[in-house]
């Protein structure tokens, strides 16, 4: 089957915007692709981690002598095997292996490497940890109370003047806004204020964290792992282990989903430390229960929103207070939640305050548009209620207040060209918006925003002797980005798509690349690819100029060929890339293009989601009937994978809205660390998810590309809540809207109606 | 752990009788292997019954059916006569886990795992199924509702083996149904389950009924008060209301990670009523669509 | 613990291996036979990433003991493409962009193959319920369901043409 299914179209692009097969596709449909747990090494040991059963406990001592004596055990490590750093890596160090205290159920306290999994398991049971169990706190509001158990004696809230005199669980306070909200509320005809809560949800990637580490007695190490950023893994692991960065080479495996959850380290430094101690390669793979207990879910939150509107639909003021718990360490995404809360609206008066709170839960990790879905849930719910109160269509109210080019965002900057209004209009014009609804059915709308990031990026593009192209990028491909890179390189070079091969190179082959996050890869690695290709084109033209004996600037590159720039440059038959490549050994050696830069002007992406649900009034169960996503992609490089991002984000948001949650017992232990009771949507839970790709070009990218991966999870929470509210005439302010919660609300409404 | 896969029931019983340590029967293994994985102590002996051909069969017997203990749930749905006679049993079996799980799991295993939320058990109880148990002291026949006694505990004695489940001949004008409530559309443990089996006379009056609820007590139970609400009626609105009330009032559910007590009480009534309506339609010979 | 010697037919080939009685078939496939196409997403039968076909039944290989494979026929993702030619499902998954990260893909393909072997004309609802035990966190299932329906359609046409 030919890989290249590109076809000429009416756009300025010949490759970009087509839907060729992905280059890594064959391996992934045949089982050949190698993911984190699929690698082995000669002499390999199996690692296992011992985890705290307590939510909060002082570790008085750890006795591993019996485990060390067990035949087949080759290494046992604890926190003492890592450098005791007090710098910016301190939290990661303590999260990777508990030091004085275990801070959550599942916190790693020791690890072993043995000749078999069975021996490693047995060894764990022989390690004696003497715990002094301490009072714990799980809930964000409870953690903020003055009498709450304190996790860190040295945590004094930042962002507060004067500096607090006592430690607390509030790591930081953030504030954004402009205008005069009090005056704004005074000018409003309708003011609505409500409080919302969301539970912690996990990214739920299907591939558990896995790695294979090998460190020799010469101090040189190799690490194979599934990660969104192998350069990050290298730098942090080297720091924790006291290694030179140059001595550790990290290779990113194929990655079985990340969604932000694989943007930090957990087991990688542990496997390296075990390998260093044992002198043999160590493979360490998490179980599903470990993934839930010990890797980052997102924050649970408590959010209060107040908004005022005039009868004509103009929003006069908006205010929000956000409290996000981020697990046992500072760093919840409350700042991003606060910055994004009102980003969809053109507001004169806006004020947002956020609190970053610690609790005895696993350290939160980024989850797709970290922080934004929760604040959008609250804000977009209130926006719908404003529309209901003034009798305005839910899309019309949003159109009237939508952020557009020139709008000053609540978090500071003034937007350039953005596509929110276009997505709202696309949603309104979609047949979905006019489809009839039956009894117990309701329709919800919500908008969403994500900043999008650029970041440090380095790529290398080499022209091979046969005219094919080898492109090395440093950003792990989590959703088909290699196909997009091939398309962009092919577009620039004028070669066919299947003559470009893109690989994710290891850390020794390229300069530093930031993690695959912030919806940055197609934008930033894509732009680097374009720049590298343009550099290669320049060199190809120079070679042609030399061959022809004319000046370099008298050569142009068109459709994959060097041509004389005009009649005055001389009459030479064009030289194809393949011809120039073949002559490279005699014309100056290899031809390559490189780019290393810090990408800026990523250009935010906005979306509008439409959803219809039906609620069973006797059981409270909601069924999603129809779902439509309209989102601005700037320029869709590979539209099939853009659609995939929009659909995937919507599905995750639906799960978050309806059934996903971290459930803790009174003992502070996670009760549902598995896919049976942590309920992500299954195929029969969802309808087809329709998509409308809006293209408002981003001026910060040569093709107009905007990242698309994250915005799609921002609107669904509120869109679902708005739909359920429309179906039941009850306003839902707590997630998940699980059947018991929905039925309880419906019963309360029926009781209230009966009392009237 | 020792693994044995005997080819005959006698050999299986002998293996179990001879074992001094802990032994477990491996039928579909979909609960057993999860228990191994969760760190439960490994048994000394595992007896795989899937090589015993008698236990792999569904056979017609006295107008009813005998289902071997090693028959996977998927096979129930492929047995056309069984589907026609006992659609409620089959729909319950086809709700256990995923397609993959149904390729392995057995209703006998579902019964012996003794989970209060086992999907097939309320349907079996409603149908009046009888378990055949073989042990060192010979054969005994036990109504299925007497097999599970508490979460994870059955009335089987050491060395005993549940060999088959017998579904009696279905009387004319009768129908059965099983419904469960789960938050998703698939892949969850029942928060509440309701099995109903009823028989009508020529005039459409209910002459016999059995109602069973799952996940609302320590074991799935036969709810006689709920059945009484149906007998002698044509399942008019009043009878269905009485059924729902009896189902809601019957037992003492708990609050847990899968549902609240309040929710379970309310939904037990709703599901009992819906299952009764479904069974009624079947008793009248009406077709019902799945999913 | 005494290791057992087991003989099976895997993807048409006679295979012998030794395993401990408590070892799962998934561990045997991955760690002893280097057939790493089946993935462990949960180890408890909740995600379907380890799906294989065991004597014509779709199962989670994490819920089968290795010793149970004695004398059985196994089909794994590695045997799905025949003589270098992709199965229509594999081709349609690529054409429909029905995979993003690809970790769940082998399980979905094996499960979908088992469906189409029983029912070559499934409805969308039948596809969704059959595949409910295969979790995908990337795609929202839309493109997967379309790929399966399209493969079924193509296979029906192929059957009529033949």
SS3 A502: strand
Q: Are C41 and A683 a contacting pair at CB < 8 A? A: no
pLDDT of residue A756: 78
Q: What's the CA gap between A238 and A244, in Å, rounded?
A: 6
- Cβ-Cβ contacts under 8 Å between A and C: the total is 178
pLDDT of residue B257: 84
Q: Which of the residues B30, B38, B184, B291 would you substitute to probe the A interface, choosing the one with the greatest number of A C-beta atoms within 10 Å? A: B184
Q: What's the CA gap between B164 and B144, in Å, rounded?
A: 11
Q: What's the CA gap between A176 and A9, in Å, rounded?
A: 45
- Give, as one character, the DSSP assignment of residue A522: I
Residue from A203, A205, A185 nearest A193 by CA: A185
Residue corresponding to tokens 């993934």: A291
Residue from A80, A23, A175, A99 nearest A483 by CA: A23
A676 to chain C: nearest residue by CA? Answer: C46
Q: Are B263 and A681 a contacting pair at CB < 8 A? A: no
- Which residues of chain B neighbour A686 with C-beta distances below 8 Å? none
What residues are paired with A450 via a beta bridge? Answer: A605
3-state helix, strand, coil in chain B (%, to 5): 35, 25, 40
- Nearest residue, CB atoms, C4 vs list B3, B26, B291: B3
Q: What are phi and psi of A529, to 5 degrees?
A: -65, -45
**Do A606 and A420 meet the contact criterion of CB atoms below 8 Å apart?**
yes
**Do A252 and A506 meet the contact criterion of CB atoms below 8 Å apart?**
yes
**Do A79 and A96 meet the contact criterion of CB atoms below 8 Å apart?**
no
pLDDT band at B258 (very low <50, low <70, confident <90, very high): confident
Q: Are C102 and A254 a contacting pair at CB < 8 A? A: yes
What residues are paired with A51 via a beta bridge? Answer: A108
- Nearest residue, CB atoms, B181 vs list A619, A675, A682: A619
Question: How far is residue C80 from each of residues A244, A688, C39, C111, measured CA to CA in Å?
Answer: 45, 27, 16, 11
pLDDT of residue B134: 95
Could you tell me the two tokens for B6? 């005997």
**Do B275 and B196 meet the contact criterion of CB atoms below 8 Å apart?**
yes
**pLDDT surpassing 70 at residue A439:** yes
Least confident of A327-336, A394-403, B34-43: B34-43
Q: Are A204 and C39 a contacting pair at CB < 8 A? A: no
SS3 A392: coil
Residues A317-322: what's their mean pLDDT? 98
Sign of CA dihedral C76, C81, C82, C83: negative
- Nearest residue, CB atoms, A652 vs list C36, C43, C137: C137
**pLDDT surpassing 70 at residue B143:** yes
Residue corresponding to tokens 């609105």: B237
The model's pLDDT over A363-411, given as tens digits with 9 standing for 90+, comes to 999 999 999 999 999 999 999 999 999 999 999 999 999 999 999 998 8
> Pairing relation of β-strands A190-198 and A128-133?
unpaired
pLDDT of residue A47: 98
pLDDT of residue B288: 67
- Nearest residue, CB atoms, C140 vs list A21, A285, A686: A686
Residues A641-647: what's their mean pLDDT? 98
> Pairing relation of β-strands B192-200 and B138-143?
unpaired
Query: Own/partner pairs for B151-155, CB < 8 Å, 24+ apart?
Result: B151/B114, B151/B115, B151/B116, B151/B218, B151/B219, B152/B113, B152/B114, B152/B115, B153/B114, B154/B111, B154/B112, B154/B114
**pLDDT surpassing 50 at residue A2:** no
Q: What's the CA gap between A266 and A269, in Å, rounded?
A: 7
Task: Measure in Å the smallest separation between the Cα of B245 and chain C Cα atoms.
Answer: 32
> Pairing relation of β-strands A315-325 and A350-357?
parallel
Task: Name subunits touching C (3+ CB pairs < 8 A).
Answer: A, B
pLDDT of residue B289: 59
Beta-strand runs (E) in A100-169: 101-102, 108-114, 128-133
Q: Which of the residues B185, B253, B268, B273 would you substitute to probe the A interface, choosing the one with the greatest number of A C-beta atoms within 10 Å? A: B185
Supply the pTM of this predicted model.
0.97
Least confident of A360-364, A702-706, B247-251: B247-251
The model's pLDDT over C43-94, given as tens digits with 9 standing for 90+, comes to 999 999 999 999 999 999 999 999 999 999 999 999 999 988 999 999 999 9
Could you tell me the two tokens for A638? 């590979």
Residue from B202, B278, B214 nearest B240 by CA: B278
Q: Edge-to-edge, what's the strand order for the sheet holding C73-75?
A: C13-19, C4-10, C73-75, C51-54, C57-60
**Do A34 and C106 meet the contact criterion of CB atoms below 8 Å apart?**
no
The model's pLDDT over A581-627, given as tens digits with 9 standing for 90+, comes to 999 999 999 999 999 999 999 999 999 999 999 999 999 999 999 99
pLDDT of residue C59: 98
Could you tell me the two tokens for A232? 């990050």
Q: Which of the residues B41, B98, B289 would you substitute to probe the C interface, choosing the one with the greatest number of C C-beta atoms within 10 Å? A: B98
- Which residues of chain C neighbour B291 with C-beta distances below 8 Å? 125, 129
Q: What's the CA gap between B136 and A156, in Å, rounded?
A: 70
The model's pLDDT over A163-202, given as tens digits with 9 standing for 90+, comes to 999 999 999 999 999 999 999 999 999 999 999 999 999 9
Q: What's the CA gap between A563 and A554, in Å, rounded?
A: 9
Could you tell me the two tokens for A94? 């303590």
Residue-wise DSSP of A170-182: EEEEEEEEES-HH
**Do A446 and A718 meet the contact criterion of CB atoms below 8 Å apart?**
yes
Could you tell me the two tokens for A437? 């609804």
Residue corresponding to tokens 């109370």: A145
Q: What's the CA gap between A6 and A12, in Å, rounded?
A: 14
**Do A650 and A627 meet the contact criterion of CB atoms below 8 Å apart?**
yes
- Give the number of other CB atoms < 10 A from CB of residue A121: 14
Q: What are phi and psi of A105, to 5 degrees?
A: -60, 115
**pLDDT surpassing 70 at residue A11:** no
pLDDT of residue C1: 55
Q: What's the CA gap between A1 and A433, in Å, rounded?
A: 40
Q: What's the CA gap between A715 and A421, in Å, rounded?
A: 15
Q: Which of the residues B189, B267, B290 would you substitute to probe the A interface, choosing the one with the greatest number of A C-beta atoms within 10 Å? A: B267
**pLDDT surpassing 70 at residue A525:** yes
- Nearest residue, CB atoms, A257 vs list C43, C103, C145: C103
Could you tell me the two tokens for C49? 């990433």
Could you tell me the two tokens for C60? 């989670």
B260 to chain A: nearest residue by CA? Answer: A740
Residue-wise DSSP of A300-363: EEEEEEEEEE-TTS-EEEEEEEEEEE-TTSS--THHHHHHHTTTTB--SSEEEEEEEE--SSPP
pLDDT of residue A410: 86
Q: Are C45 and B30 a contacting pair at CB < 8 A? A: yes
Q: What angle do CA B37, B40, B45 make, to 5 degrees?
A: 95
Q: What angle do CA B282, B285, B286 make, to 5 degrees?
A: 75
CA B143: distance to chain centroid? 11
CA B281: distance to chain centroid? 21
Q: What's the CA gap between A114 and C134, in Å, rounded?
A: 32
- Nearest residue, CB atoms, C58 vs list B26, B46, B103: B103
pLDDT of residue B290: 54
User: What does the longest C-alpha to C-alpha distance in chain A come to?
Assistant: 95
Sign of CA dihedral A253, A259, A265, A270: negative
**Given phi > 0 = left and psi -120 to 50 = alpha, else beta, which region is A736?**
beta
Q: Are C133 and B46 a contacting pair at CB < 8 A? A: no
Residue from A516, A657, A643, A612 nearest C144 by CA: A643
Q: What's the CA gap between A155 and B205, in Å, rounded?
A: 73
**Do B214 and B192 meet the contact criterion of CB atoms below 8 Å apart?**
yes
Q: Are A674 and C145 a contacting pair at CB < 8 A? A: no
pLDDT of residue B252: 73
Question: How far is residue A517 from each of residues A312, A373, A453, A485, A726, measured CA to CA in Å?
Answer: 40, 16, 8, 16, 35
Q: What's the CA gap between A633 and A603, in Å, rounded?
A: 10
Residue A482 burial by CB count (10 A; 0-12/13-18/19+): exposed, middle or buried? buried
H helix and E strand count, chain C: 5, 5
């Amino acid at each position: 089957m030919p890989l290249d299914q590109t076809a000429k179209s009416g756009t300025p692009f010949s490759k970009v915007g087509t839907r060729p097969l992905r280059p890594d596709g064959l391996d992934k449909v045949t089982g050949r692709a190698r993911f984190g747990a699929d690698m082995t090494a000669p002499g390999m040991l199996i690692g296992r981690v011992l985890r705290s059963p307590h939510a909060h406990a002082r570790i008085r001592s750890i006795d591993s002598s019996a485990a060390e004596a067990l035949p087949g055990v080759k290494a046992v490590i604890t926190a003492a095997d890592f450098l005791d750093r007090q710098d910016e890596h301190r939290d990661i160090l303590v999260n990777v292996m508990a030091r004085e205290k275990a801070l959550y159920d599942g916190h790693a306290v020791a690890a072993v490497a043995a000749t078999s999994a069975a021996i490693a398991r047995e060894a764990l049971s022989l390690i004696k940890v003497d715990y002094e169990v301490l009072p714990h706190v799980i809930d964000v509001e409870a953690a903020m109370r003055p009498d709450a158990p304190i996790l860190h004696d040295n945590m004094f809230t930042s962002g507060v003047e004067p500096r607090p005199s006592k430690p607390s669980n509030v790591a930081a306070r953030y504030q954004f806004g402009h205008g005069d909200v009090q005056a704004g509320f005074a000018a409003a005809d309708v003011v609505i204020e409500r409080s919302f809560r969301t539970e912690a949800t996990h990214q739920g990637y299907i591939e558990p964290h896995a790695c294979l580490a090998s460190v020799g007695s010469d101090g040189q190490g190799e690490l194979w792992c599934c990660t969104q950023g192998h350069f990050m893994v290298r730098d942090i692991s080297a720091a924790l282990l006291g290694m030179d960065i140059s001595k550790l080479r990290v290779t990113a495996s194929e990655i079985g989903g990340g969604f932000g959850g694989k943007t930090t380290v957990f087991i990688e430094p542990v496997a390296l430390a075990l390998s260093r101690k044992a002198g043999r390669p160590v493979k360490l793979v998490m179980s599903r229960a470990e993934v839930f207990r010990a890797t980052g879910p997102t924050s649970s939150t408590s959010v209060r929103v107040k908004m005022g509107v005039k009868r004509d639909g103009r929003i006069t003021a908006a205010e929000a207070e956000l409290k996000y718990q981020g697990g046992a360490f500072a760093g919840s995404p409350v700042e991003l939640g606060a910055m994004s809360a009102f980003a969809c609206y053109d507001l004169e008066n806006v004020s947002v305050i956020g609190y970053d709170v610690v609790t005895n839960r696993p350290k939160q990790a980024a989850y797709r548009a970290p922080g934004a879905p929760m604040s959008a849930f609250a804000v977009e719910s209130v926006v719908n209620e404003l529309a209901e109160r003034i009798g305005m269509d839910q899309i019309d109210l949003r159109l009237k207040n939508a952020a557009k080019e020139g709008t000053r965002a609540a978090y500071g900057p003034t937007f350039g060209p953005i596509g929110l209004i276009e997505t709202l209009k696309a949603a309104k014009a979609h047949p979905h918006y006019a489809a009839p609804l039956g009894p117990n059915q309701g329709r919800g709308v919500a908008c969403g925003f994500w900043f999008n990031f650029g970041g440090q990026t380095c790529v290398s593009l080499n022209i091979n002797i046969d005219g094919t192209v080898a492109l090395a990028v440093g950003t792990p491909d989590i959703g088909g980005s290699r196909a997009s890179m091939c398309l962009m390189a092919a577009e620039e070079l004028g070669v066919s798509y299947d003559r470009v091969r893109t690989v994710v190179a290891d850390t020794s082959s390229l300069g530093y690349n930031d993690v695959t996050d912030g919806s940055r890869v197609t934008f930033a690695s894509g732009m680097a690819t374009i720049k590298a290709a343009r550099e290669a084109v320049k060199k190809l033209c120079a070679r042609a100029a030399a061959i022809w004996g004319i000046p370099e600037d008298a050569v142009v590159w068109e459709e994959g060929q060097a041509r004389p720039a005009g009649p005055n440059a001389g009459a030479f038959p064009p030289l194809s890339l393949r011809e120039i490549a073949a002559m490279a050994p005699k014309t100056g050696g290899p031809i390559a293009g490189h780019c290393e830069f810090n990408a800026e002007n990523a250009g935010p992406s906005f979306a509008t989601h439409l959803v219809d649900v039906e609620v069973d009034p006797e059981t409270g169960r909601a069924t999603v009937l129809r779902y439509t996503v309209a989102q601005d992609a700037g320029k869709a490089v590979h539209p099939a994978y853009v659609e995939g991002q929009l659909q995937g984000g919507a599905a995750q948001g639906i799960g978050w809205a309806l059934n996903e949650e971290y459930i803790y017992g009174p003992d502070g232990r996670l009760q549902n660390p598995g896919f049976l009771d942590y309920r992500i949507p299954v195929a029969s839970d969802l309808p087809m998810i329709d998509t409308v790709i809006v293209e408002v070009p981003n001026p910060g990218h040569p093709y107009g590309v905007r990242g698309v991966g994250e915005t799609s999870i921002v609107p669904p929470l509120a869109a679902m809540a708005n739909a359920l509210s429309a179906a039941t005439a009850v306003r839902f302010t707590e997630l998940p809207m699980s059947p018991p919660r929905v039925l309880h609300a419906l019963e309360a409404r029926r009781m209230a109606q009966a009392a009237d | 752990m020792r693994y044995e896969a005997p080819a005959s029931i006698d050999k299986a019983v002998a293996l179990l009788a001879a074992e001094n340590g802990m032994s477990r029967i491996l039928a579909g293994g979909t609960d057993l292997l999860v228990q191994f994985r969760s760190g439960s102590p490994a048994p000394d002996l595992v007896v795989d019954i899937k090589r015993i051909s008698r236990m792999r069969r569904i056979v017609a017997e006295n107008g009813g059916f005998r289902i071997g203990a090693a028959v996977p749930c998927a096979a129930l749905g492929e047995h056309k006569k069984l589907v026609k006679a006992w659609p409620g049993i089959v729909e319950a079996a086809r709700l256990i886990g995923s397609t993959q799980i149904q390729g392995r799991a057995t209703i006998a295993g579902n019964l012996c795992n003794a989970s209060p939320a086992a999907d097939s058990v309320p349907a079996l109880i409603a149908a009046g199924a009888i378990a055949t148990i073989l042990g060192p002291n010979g054969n005994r026949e036990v109504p299925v509702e007497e097999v599970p006694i508490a979460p994870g505990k059955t009335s089987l004695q050491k060395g005993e083996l549940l060999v088959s489940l017998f579904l009696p001949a279905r009387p004319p004008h009768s129908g059965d149904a099983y419904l469960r409530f789960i938050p998703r559309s698939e892949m969850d443990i029942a928060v509440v389950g309701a099995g109903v089996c009823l028989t009508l006379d020529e005039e459409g009056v209910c002459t016999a009924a059995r109602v069973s609820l799952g996940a609302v007590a320590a074991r799935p139970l036969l709810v006689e008060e709920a059945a009484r609400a149906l007998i002698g009626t044509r399942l008019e609105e009043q009878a269905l209301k009485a059924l729902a009330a009896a189902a809601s009032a019957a037992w003492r559910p708990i609050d847990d990670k899968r549902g609240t007590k309040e929710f379970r009480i309310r939904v037990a009534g709703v599901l009992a009523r819906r299952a009764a309506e479904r069974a009624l339609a079947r008793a009248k010979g009406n077709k019902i669509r799945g999913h | 613990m005494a290791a057992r010697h087991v003989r099976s037919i895997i993807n048409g080939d006679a295979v012998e291996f030794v395993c401990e009685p408590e070892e799962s078939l998934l561990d045997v496939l991955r760690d002893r036979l280097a057939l790493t196409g089946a993935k462990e997403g949960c180890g408890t039968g909740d995600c379907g990433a380890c799906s294989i076909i065991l004597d014509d039944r779709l199962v989670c290989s994490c819920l089968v003991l290795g010793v149970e494979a004695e004398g059985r026929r196994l089909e794994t993702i590695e045997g799905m493409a025949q003589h270098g030619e992709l199965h229509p499902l594999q081709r349609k998954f690529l054409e429909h962009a029905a995979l993003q990260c690809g970790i769940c893909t082998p399980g979905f393909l094996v499960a979908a193959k088992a469906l189409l072997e029983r029912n070559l004309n499934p409805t969308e609802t039948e596809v969704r319920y059959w595949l409910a035990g295969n979790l995908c966190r990337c795609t929202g299932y839309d493109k997967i369901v379309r790929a399966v329906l399209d493969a079924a359609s193509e296979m029906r046409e192929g059957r009529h043409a033949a």
